[in-house]
Amino acid sequence: MILNFKHFYQELTFPRTVLFAIFFHDYIYDPKSNNNEEESVQAFESCARDLELDADVVKGVKHMINLTSSGHYTKELEEDKPKTRDVHYFLDFDLSILGSNPVEYTLYAKKIRKEYNHVGEEEFCTRRAQVMEKFLERKYVFCTKEFRQFAEENARKNVQGEVVILRGRAEHLRTCKEKGHTCGIKDGEIEGGTEVEECTDLCSQD
């Protein structure tokens, strides 16, 4: 995010606000928690009091942090308006990994799986696919015209590819379970539509 911040610094109206949001948006990050954004905001508020930051800066940073939660996405973020440019750049910085090259994206997806290793494979694949499909349902993945121009196409390809693998993996695991098989296929080795009969050497009957 910092590299993107530096690259687009001249485009930002209030870069200081954006920088605080970058630093604090994942200040508290626990994959097992549903309150990361709220706790990160609280950490920022404590810092803001110590630094005696202006109320407008505090309000702006809190708004940006809260928007990083997928549940706060709204259609208005698709509209490229001057008054929301800083917010748009911040959100695009946060999602920039989606538009990376395929190798980097694969490493990112594997890292996410490791972070959620406390979640069962079938549940993870199903829930992760649901989250990623929300990006595909948007008119645009990114908010700014710059990111749409150089990253939108890659992002859609990357996300679509991951969803296909996740959905295929979840379906395969369900089929194995129904047939009393122990699945021996490793994460990400199959794509959508793969049947249990195609992996008899790897999936064994209990």
Which one, of 160, 175, 39, lies nearest residue 105 by Cα? 160
What are the distances in angstroms from CA 70 to CA 46, 100, 116, 184? Answer: 24, 20, 17, 33
Burial 132-165 (b: 16+ CB within 10 A, else e): beebeeeebbbbbebbbeebbebbbebbebbbeb
**Residue 62, pLDDT score:** 94
For position 159, what pLDDT does the model report?
Answer: 97
pLDDT in tens, the chain (206 residues): 999 999 999 999 999 999 999 999 999 988 888 888 899 999 999 999 999 999 999 999 999 998 887 555 555 566 656 568 899 999 999 999 999 999 999 999 999 999 999 999 999 999 999 999 999 998 999 999 999 999 999 999 999 999 999 999 898 888 888 877 777 665 545 454 444 445 555 565 55
Q: What is the DSSP string of 170-205?
A: HHHHHHHHHTTEE--PPTT---TT--GGGGTTT-EE
pLDDT of amino acid 149: 96
Does the predicted TM-score (pTM) go above 0.75?
yes
C-alpha to C-alpha distance for 180 and 133, rounded to whole angstroms: 30
- Residue 26 CA to residue 11 CA, distance in Å, equals 23
